[in-house]
Chain A
Amino acid sequence: QITLKESGPTLVKPTQTLTLTCTFSGFSLSTSGVGVGWIRQPPGKALEWLALIYWDDVDLYSPSLKSRVTITKDTSKNQVVLTMTNMDPIDTGTYYCAHSNPRAFDIWGQGTMVAVSS
């Protein structure tokens, strides 16, 4: 059974860097074709893709956020980490990590709410 869980701060101040960790089980990020992505959702709004990392270390980023976002993986710990710099109140929302196989997000974490406020 595949599960993913996001963890990190619930509140960050403007200009700070956000670091979120996705801890997963039930699959390995060293298996061919597998990836883990990050998607966020402002309250009451649409899903927005942020980044995706694959088993072979290929990493993809949203063009609009590429300058602010970094995704890394630790295969031995079954974790994927997202960092987002220069946080702003408009970045407030729920952040999800999801398993990708490899082009669809077939299993999602429960999400973690992040508020950006001084």
Chain B
Amino acid sequence: SYDLTQTPSVSVSPGQTASITCSGDKLREKYVYWYQQKPGQSPVLIIYQDNKRPSGIPERFSGSSSGNTATLTISGTQAMDEADYFCQAWDSSAVVFGGGTKLTVL
């Protein structure tokens, strides 16, 4: 089965840049999607097709992909960005989620 690997936790100071990575075999050949999930809430799509932001998602969220790693970057991180972040890709006809990264803003 196809696996997407994420660092379990990332810490960042308010106003700084947070980078959350997602790695997978031949990931550069696939589109990557990113979801934000705050405690007790449903996930929210924040990046699709590697680097596109849905309407309403702040510009401080950006995505990129190179080689076998996709990166979600949060510029000028705010306290409200503290959440779990999950990457997602397709492997043939199956959806795969990463294990998630808990972002702590402190």
> Which residues of A does B touch, CB under 8 Å?
37, 39, 46-49, 52, 60-64, 96, 103-111
Contact = CB atoms under 8 A, between A and B. Distances in A.
Contact of B33 (A61, A104, A107): A104
A105 B94 CA distance: 13
B54 interface: yes
Interface residues of B, number: 23
Contacts, number: 58
Interface of B is mostly: strand
A106 B54 contact: yes
A61 B1 CA distance: 13
B42 A96 contact: yes
Contact of B86 (A46, A61, A96): A46
Contact of A46 (B33, B42, B95, B97): B97
Given A47-B35, A103-B90, A104-B33, A52 B95 contact: yes
